[in-house]
Homo-oligomer: A and B are copies of this chain.
Amino acid sequence: MMFSTELALQECVICKKTENLGFNYGVLTCGACKMFFHRVIFTKKVESYCKYNQNCTSKCRHCRFQRCIQNGMLYTPIENLLNANNQDMLSALIFNLSCLDSNRRDKLFSYHLIGDPTIYELAKAGSLKLEERPADYRMDVMEWGYISGIISVDYMYKLPFIKSLEVDDRAVIFRYCYFYLSLLSDSLRAFNSKKAFICFPDGTEVVKLNSPGVTKYFENKIRCRLAGRVNELNITNEEISLLSVILICNPALPNLSSSAKILLASYQKIYTTALLQYCLLTYQKTGPSRFADLLSLFQVVIKTRQDISHHFVICQLNGPPACLKKLFWS
């Protein structure tokens, strides 16, 4: 929009070429990179690693596709996903989302964002410039919480419709979603590593255990409620991917502008339809109930967040005050 008059001065964010530009899949790219992205998500033929090993040229398909994901290219199916003919659209969408997730997973291990930004500052920035964590970076509960929150924000920025919102609307969404998204991703990690409780990648607990003033039972509820439910459900990566996007597309959030509400509602429709269709295809007759079970996970996530906040407040009252990043209270 703001670009359209200056298109000639811009370049493809994937390959830096300046000819044949346009907004394709939400990102300013050349026609060649548009076709490349389309082909990859519809045929899924892309190497899962970089053959070039750090010394990559523009010809490497893996890295070219990583740049597409990193820059937020996202396929949005427009036709009715419930139509059986459109199954390849559904799988293209799911593949695309699962790439976002693996991008997110990679970053959680080794990236961070310097500083202590407020939510509004994050929303105003337009995108995040994450950096690699130094090798000796000391991680604790607070740092893990901060970094997973930041990476959830980075994740939301990968959705073109989030970028197209006004700053105020984006701030509302970020504030509401960052914690839930982190929890969803924590729960998938717990399931994949066959753990009955959620924790950070290095094993750090999500709350400080044995804190004064809280019962063991309460701490265990925080650690296990969500992981237990996810394990019961035998959740898939694809389901968590779709649930994450659906969570973000919540037009019912307070203080959203009416245009944002309309936009989010339309995307919510697309992604809930996609999840339903995924359930119908994967679970056949039990698809509808599966769909309901998955959506009910939101309640568990919300409850877990409440408990973690609660736990933190109790710790603050009973122990030495901790320094809290602005992300958590701005």
Contact = CB atoms under 8 A, between A and B. Distances in A.
Interface of A: 16-18, 50-53, 55, 57-60, 78-80, 82-83, 258-259, 262, 266, 269-270, 273, 276
6 contacts: A53-B80, A55-B80, A55-B273, A57-B269, A57-B270, A59-B266
Contacts of A79: 51, 59
Contact of A266 (B57, B270, B276): B57
Interface SS of chain A: helix, strand, loop or mixed?
loop
A98 B46 CA distance: 34
Contacts of A83: 51-53
A274 to B, nearest CB: 11
User: How many copies of this chain does the complex contain?
Assistant: 2
Nearest to A272: B55
B18 A258 contact: yes
A82 B59 contact: no
Contacts of A270: 57
A52 B58 CA distance: 40
Contacts of A59: 78-79, 266
The 5 closest A-B pairs by CB, nearest first: A51-B80, A52-B80, A59-B78, A57-B269, A55-B273
A262 B16 contact: yes
A266 B52 contact: no
Nearest to A11: B258
A258 B273 CA distance: 45
A269 B54 CA distance: 12
Nearest to A266: B58
A293 B29 CA distance: 40
Contacts of A60: 80
Contacts of A51: 79-80, 83
A262 B17 contact: yes
A138 to B, nearest CB: 32
Nearest to A277: B55
A82 B52 contact: yes
Given A16-B262, A17-B262, A18-B258, A269 B55 contact: yes
